[in-house]
Amino acid sequence: MDTKLFSSYTVKDVTLKNRIVMAPMCMYSSHNEDGKVENWHLTHYTSRAVGQVGLIIVEATAVTAQGRISPQDLGIWSDDHIEGLQQLTGMMKEHGTRAGIQLAHAGRKAVIEGEIIAPSAVAFNEKMKKPKEMTKEEIKETIEAFKEGAVRAKKAGFEVIEIHAAHGYLINEFLSPLSNLREDEYGGIAENRYRFLREVIDSIQSVWDGPLFVRVSASDYNENGLDVEDYVTFGRWMKEQGIDLIDVSSGALVPARIHAYPGYQVKFAETIKNEADIPTGAVGLITSGLQAEEILQNDRADLIFIARELLRDPYFPKTAAKQLGTEIEPPKQYDRGW
């Protein structure tokens, strides 16, 4: 049976062999707190490449040491990180998987020693540290750090970059009026709140011509926050800037009750895809091949981002193919078993 899930997908000059993407998930495994790749990363990501995932986007990788979500996060703030990341991309590509990386800064959600920074001096909740409001100089330095991260990503052999603008981290904090109380050109009206992301995109594009994705949280789940219609507007601006695809998640900007159910974020991806006329990736409790195929066949998204199901099943593509009554080519070494 011909399936959309196992059809190829081309972005710029990069072709994915199927539409299954491993979503970025923090592994908290840089145990020396130096942000370097360890054996765990090589094992974890390469096994999903052996499992025939089309694109693997490596976890949130910090563009500054201060911007780590935790001290065990991967980093790309130094040239010392390139060698380990290069080994990782080489191992993934050996199995025909495309290698992507998510460039990130945690902002006020950084759980690290010392000072943390954010658009405004407002803590995430009463248990979290209060951040320092960023100066214009710190904004400029952070945009430069994203650019340098893209330069290193290229040297390390990554073929896709995703900018992390979701889940309440720094870029998301600039976008939402709940966390951005600034009164300068980076705060206030939507254009101003978008300015930081706009400048990050421009700076990365000055050194990177490959596929560029952005991950967003399409709802703050708060009546005074942003919802999907705000992200349709942002999506149009991203399209004008040349962004290739928006990876649509939701929540985590402020504490909120979220009613999660199978495919609960797909509607957001569908709305942004249709109303902003830009390709999207759907993510969130997508656990079967049938569910993924339905999303693609009904034009609700262009790529399927799988997170926890790939933690449970590194060979999810094989499982999904079986559910859809189709066959995929196994790794030669596993021919007899598959």
Residues in binding site for FMN = 60, 102, 215, 307-308
Q: Residues comprising the binding site for substrate?
A: 28, 164-167
Q: Residues comprising the binding site?
A: 28, 60, 102, 164-167, 215, 307-308
> In the chain, how long is the greatest CA-to-CA distance?
64
Burial of residue 237 (CB within 10 Å: 0-12, 13-18, 19+) is middle
What CA–CA distances, in Å, run from 29 to 73, 77, 81, 163?
7, 17, 14, 21
Nearest to 224 by CA among 253, 195, 250: 253
Tokens standing for residue 193: 């709140």
What are the DSSP calls for 70-100, one per residue? STTS-B-SSGGGHHHHHHHHHHHHTTT-EEE
Percentages helix, strand, coil for the chain (3-state, rounded to 5) are 35, 15, 45
Q: Which amino acid is at 331?
A: P
Nearest to 253 by CA among 309, 140, 183, 172: 172
3-state secondary structure of 194: helix
Q: At what angle do helices 266-276 and 228-240 cross, to 10 degrees?
A: 50
What H or E segment, with its residue span, contains residue 213? strand 212-217
